[in-house]
């Protein structure tokens, strides 16, 4: 039977059954002509679904909406303009396109059109990465087939430089002894965050937005959904973090916050949110080569030194995400927990007071911070 159209509270609704699929839904409009067009398209969609399955009809906009409803990140997908009644960004670009018809070349063109005159890494971060996140969500719902999408890369022939490249802190690993010396020169709040970098290997964007609901201290496991990265993944928890995370989880919400109790604002430049804390620790410790990403590089290198299998190392760092790990991100993996616990523990680091009572120390500041004295409360 065809779908019928009826008016209710100045809005048209469609109701009926097409090949066994029943619907009762709003058209979102009070315009009869527009509502009839929507009804016709909906009938055609239901017919296609009944013959070819949902994967043949789902659009990018529908997949993106489902991704967002599941907790996915809205960053770079698009913003809805209520006055214009339409989306911009990726949702506006692909919108009603059937997901399975989008090709690699079309995705590349989208990146160039949405972000003209930008570097390859910008197109990757703001176009390809969110698109792949939506695609992988669709794969998990069986709306799309698994596919490897190529990302924008640095053009060949651009590596040669007339001048030596300026060294950037955070690009190389350090010893855990050196890491401890640097972290213990920080105020407790940023020191807690840096400790997590050194004992999880997580990216800054992942830890800046880590929520207490994603942490299971009992299971020694952290579950990240696709909103923070291209893929959902599980992260093992080192034993040194157990008292710290236990205390921070009592507060709820974002685990890590500034000394003033404010969440770290996610930015595209990685760890710039900690610039003041990092610069202060550099002055106090005399160590200049540590930045937020240092922890990730240090974890990776130390796991290699500890003879951890490359596949296990890559799973911990989120480099080896397969269909199995995507489906079981919330299930602790003993081999990953065992591997992360091979990272060395520095006694002075593990026994610092804020590790066991983080909430009491969270708003205190290190000696030499501004005009304040050693570890006094920060004014809000």
Q: What is the DSSP string of 162-194?
A: SSPPPP-TTSS---HHHHHHHHTTS-HHHHHHH
pLDDT at 323: 47
Phi, psi of 221 (to 5 degrees): -145, 140
- DSSP letter for each residue of 111-175: HHHHSTT--HHHHIIIIIHHHHHHHHHHHHTTSS---PPPPP-PPTT----SSPPPP-TTSS---
Q: How many helices (H) and strands (E) does the chain have?
A: 18, 8
Residue pLDDT, tens place only, 218-258? 999 999 875 445 567 889 999 999 999 999 999 999 999 99
Among all chains, which residue has been given the structure tokens 């590089």?
297
Q: Given pLDDT bands bounded at 50, 70 and 90, which one contains residue 10?
A: confident
pLDDT at 321: 54
**SS3 of residue 343 by DSSP:** coil
Q: Terminus-to-terminus CA distance in the chain, angstroms?
A: 64
Q: What ranges do the domains of the chain cover?
A: 1-52, 53-153, 176-361
Out of 56-60, 81-85, 279-283, give the one with best mean pLDDT: 279-283
- The answer to whether 248 and 354 have CB atoms below 8 angstroms apart is no
pLDDT at 18: 74
Among candidates 259, 281, 294, which has minimal Cα distance to 181? 281
pTM value is 0.58
DSSP state of 98: B
Among all chains, which residue has been given the structure tokens 């991704």?
67
- The answer to whether 90 and 76 have CB atoms below 8 angstroms apart is yes
- The answer to whether 303 and 175 have CB atoms below 8 angstroms apart is no
Phi, psi of 374 (to 5 degrees): -60, 115
Alpha carbons 380 and 377: distance in angstroms, whole number: 9
Alpha carbons 261 and 241: distance in angstroms, whole number: 20
Phi, psi of 319 (to 5 degrees): -90, -20
Out of 60-69, 165-174, 236-245, give the one with best mean pLDDT: 236-245
- The answer to whether 319 and 153 have CB atoms below 8 angstroms apart is no
Q: State the average pLDDT over residues 122-145.
A: 91
Helix (H) or strand (E) holding 216: strand 215-216
- The CATH class of the 176-361 domain is mainly alpha
Alpha carbons 34 and 36: distance in angstroms, whole number: 5
Choice between 76 and 107, residue whose per-residue pLDDT is larger: 107
**SS3 of residue 45 by DSSP:** helix
- The answer to whether 128 and 146 have CB atoms below 8 angstroms apart is no
pLDDT at 366: 74
Query: For 1-10, 89-98, 370-379, which range has the lowest pLDDT when averaged over its residues?
Result: 370-379
**SS3 of residue 15 by DSSP:** strand
Q: In what order do the strands lie in the sheet with 221-224?
A: 215-216, 221-224, 233-236
Q: Average pLDDT over the chain, rounded to whole?
A: 84
If one counts every other C-beta atom within 10 angstroms of the C-beta of residue 257, the result is: 20
Q: How far is CA 53 from the centre of its chain?
A: 31
Out of 180-194, 304-318, 364-378, give the one with best mean pLDDT: 180-194
Alpha carbons 241 and 372: distance in angstroms, whole number: 29
Encoded tokens for 372: 């304040």
Angle at 358 between CA 372 and CA 249, to 5 degrees: 140
If one counts every other C-beta atom within 10 angstroms of the C-beta of residue 340, the result is: 24
Choice between 375 and 2, residue whose per-residue pLDDT is larger: 2
Alpha carbons 188 and 256: distance in angstroms, whole number: 11
The burial class, CB within 10 Å (0-12 / 13-18 / 19+), for 120 is: middle
pLDDT at 36: 87
pLDDT at 79: 85
């Amino acid at each position: 039977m065809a779908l019928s159209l009826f008016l209710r509270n100045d809005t048209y609704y469609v109701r009926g059954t097409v090949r066994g699929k029943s619907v009762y839904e709003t058209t979102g409009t009070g315009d009869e002509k527009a509502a009839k067009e929507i009804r016709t398209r909906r009938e055609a969609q239901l017919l296609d679904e009944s013959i070819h399955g949902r994967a043949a009809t789902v659009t990018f906009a529908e997949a993106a909406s489902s991704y967002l409803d599941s907790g996915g990140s809205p960053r770079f997908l698009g913003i809805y303009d209520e006055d214009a009644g339409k989306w911009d960004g990726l949702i506006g670009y692909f919108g009603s396109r059937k997901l399975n018809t989008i090709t690699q070349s079309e995705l590349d063109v989208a990146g160039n059109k949405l972000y003209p005159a930008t570097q390859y890494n910008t197109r990757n971060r703001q176009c390809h990465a969110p698109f792949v996140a939506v695609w992988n969500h669709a794969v998990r719902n069986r709306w799309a087939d698994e596919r490897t999408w190529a990302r924008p890369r640095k053009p060949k022939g651009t590596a040669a430089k007339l001048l030596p490249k300026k060294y950037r802190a955070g690009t190389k690993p350090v010893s855990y002894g050196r890491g401890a010396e640097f972290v213990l020169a920080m105020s407790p709040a940023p020191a807690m965050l840096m400790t997590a970098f050194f004992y999880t290997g997580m990216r800054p964007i992942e830890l800046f937005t880590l929520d207490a609901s994603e942490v299971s201290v009992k299971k020694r496991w952290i579950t990240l959904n696709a909103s923070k990265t291209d893929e959902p993944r599980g992260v093992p928890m080192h034993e040194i973090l157990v008292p710290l995370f236990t205390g921070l989880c009592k507060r709820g919400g974002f685990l890590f916050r500034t000394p003033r109790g404010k969440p770290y604002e996610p930015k595209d430049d990685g760890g710039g949110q900690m610039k003041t804390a990092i610069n202060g620790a550099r002055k106090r410790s005399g160590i200049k080569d540590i930045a937020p990403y240092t922890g990730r590089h240090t974890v990776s290198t130390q796991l290699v030194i500890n003879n951890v299998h490359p596949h296990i190392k890559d799973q911990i760092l989120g480099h080896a995400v397969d269909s199995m790990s995507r489906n079981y991100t919330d299930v602790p993996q003993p081999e990953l927990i065992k591997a992360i616990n091979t990272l060395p523990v520095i006694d002075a680091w593990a026994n610092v007071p804020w590790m066991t009572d983080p909430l009491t120390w969270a708003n205190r500041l290190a000696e030499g911070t501004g005009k304040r004295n050693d570890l006094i409360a920060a004014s809000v």
